[in-house]
Structure 1
Amino acid sequence: MITIEDLRLAVTLSRSESLSAAARALNVSPPALSMRLRKLEALLGSNLASRDARRLSLTAEGERFAKESVALLEKLEALPESFRQPNDQLSGILRLAAPFGYGRQRIAPMLARFAKLHPGLRLHLDLRETPWPDRHDSDAVIHIGSIHDSSWVAHTLMQNERWLCASPHYLKTHGTPQTPEELADHRCICIRENEEDVTLWHLRKQNTRHTLRIEPAMLCNDGSVARRWAEQDQGLILRSQWDVSDAIQSGALVRVLADWSFESAPILLLVPSRKHRTARIQALMVFLDESLK
């Protein structure tokens, strides 16, 4: 007999790169997961996945079973809400994924307040370097920056400019650039995230546009680390307004080329289409909108 755990196993396997990653997502050991997978394959009479120590890929039968498992789980999770009266409390699990820095500093405190409003909800916050709904088991995803290809709907929570900054000591020592061309003579710090070409900077001032290819002196996939490097006089950094506004206000960083606009990075909430949107997700959307006004 197929169980809910079997359905969740199939969905998790379809969104994981290895058995070890799937085991971590399900909070079980790799041997225990392998045993569950073998039992499920024996029950179905089909080989669902090709796997080794480093790589996992589903067979055609595995892809089909995972797809049907997603649909069944969505129906099961939505079933209690179909019986919920208008004044009933929300219940069930709400899984939200977010980038490490923004998720830790901004989303986590807001979720604590959201949990107090809906004590019947079980909230899961998954912090990732590059969260994306098509790859992970999430009900909604916080994404920073533009999106190019997703079956999910992007709901803008707030606008977010990118600001070029450096420490006062760095600017005193190396000079403050007055034009984009002068950036070639400066140390620049880049942040590798969201699979973007982070060394290509686009600037605009009124009707003038400029594109620069940066040769980074320092590169990191953690925005908070890169910001601290800038605060420690290591160079210029192009960073989201939400992350550097406090440092600028305190004087730890100074905004450079403020009369030029860089590509913005709006704060987005990625959610399923309205057809598959639960009351839990709708409540989260309303709450985040009101919190970020």
Structure 2
Amino acid sequence: MISIEDLRLAVTLARSESLSAAARTLNVSPPALSMRLRKLETRLGLTLANRDARRLSLTADGERFSRESALLLEQLEALPESFRQKDETLVGTLRLAAPFGYGRQRIAPLLARFAKVHPQLRLHLDLRETPWPDRHDSDAVIHIGHLNESLWTARPLTPNERWLCASPAYLHAHGVPSSPDELASHRCICIRENDEDVTLWHLRKGQGRKTLRVEPAL
């Protein structure tokens, strides 16, 4: 197996006038370099260089091996850069899943602007009632509520609060509740998300918190 160090050795030999000069470039002793060269020649079954105490010259096989080594090293050095987009434009496909309402009002306009900045990027937005957990084929899922799945990385996008509201006609007919406990006797409209228990409400006022179960209106 030819190593990167073998390639560098061949390139250095081609650029050096003597074995001692090549050893100084590679920061090794001349005897150590001579041993590395012999091992490489044995591995290849070729004579790469003619050397004596003062002069070093490559054979025809040595010159060819040096040229090929230089090309390989250049390709290896350029490999990371070849994967970078020069203009930082994104390419490929991005798949997103989001709830219907939030996806239409918040995500779709953002994606429209994002697509103009990255025209080579294909965007897929899948809107559905429960984007989680049935959209594991997506790159990102917009989820409303608590996430129990530990294999995904969650990032909060924005607070999601619910406000207690009632029409004037309902309050006139049934009265205004004076405490959260009285909500249990009222007919409540519950918004279902992600198949969660919509009758279990978590109320907060200042630093106080209360959890109660309500009766949904039929």
Q: So what's the TM-score if we normalise by structure 1?
A: 0.43
Distance 1:102 1:117, change over 3 A: same
Provide the secondary structure at the position in 2 that maps to 1:166: coil
Show the counterpart of 2:75: none
Q: Deviations over 1:137-193 (max 9, x none)?
A: 101111111212231111111112221112233223322222112212321011222
2:115 maps to 1:110: no
Provide the secondary structure at the position in 2 that maps to 1:191: coil
Provide the secondary structure at the position in 2 that maps to 1:194: coil
Q: Distance in 2 between matches of 1:166 and 1:82?
A: 61
Amino acid at match of 2:84: R
Amino acid at match of 1:142: I
Distance 1:134 1:167, change over 3 A: same
Show the counterpart of 1:185: 185
Show the counterpart of 2:147: 147
Provide the secondary structure at the position in 2 that maps to 1:132: helix
Show the counterpart of 2:165: 165
Q: CA deviation at 1:106?
A: 1.6
Gaps of 5+ in 1: 1-80, 219-293
Structure having the larger proportion of residues in strand: 1
Q: Distance in 2 between matches of 1:82 and 1:151?
A: 31
Q: Which has the larger radius of gyration?
A: 2
Q: Distance in 2 between matches of 1:106 and 1:128?
A: 14
**Contact 2:92 2:120 survives alignment (8 Å):** yes
Q: CA deviation at 1:102?
A: 0.8
Q: CA deviation at 1:195?
A: 2.5
Provide the secondary structure at the position in 1 that maps to 2:163: strand
Q: Distance in 1 between matches of 2:189 and 2:176?
A: 16
Amino acid at match of 1:118: H
Show the counterpart of 2:174: 174
Q: CA deviation at 1:202?
A: 2.3
Amino acid at match of 1:111: L
**Contact 2:185 2:214 survives alignment (8 Å):** no
Show the counterpart of 2:137: 137
Provide the secondary structure at the position in 1 that maps to 2:198: coil
Amino acid at match of 1:174: H
Q: So what's the TM-score if we normalise by structure 2?
A: 0.57
Amino acid at match of 2:185: D
Amino acid at match of 2:136: H
**Contact 1:100 1:128 survives alignment (8 Å):** yes
Q: Distance in 1 between matches of 2:177 and 2:191?
A: 20
Distance 1:217 1:120, change over 3 A: same
1:49-128 matches, cutoff 5 A: 83-128=83-128
Aligned-pair identity (%):
75
Gaps of 5+ in 2: 1-80
Q: CA deviation at 1:109?
A: 1.5
Which runs of structure 1 show a deviation greater than 6 angstroms over 4 or more consecutive aligned residues?
none
Query: Aligned residues, how many?
Result: 138
RMSD: 2.3
Amino acid at match of 2:165: C
Structure with the bigger RCO (C-alpha within 8 Å, sep 6+) is 1
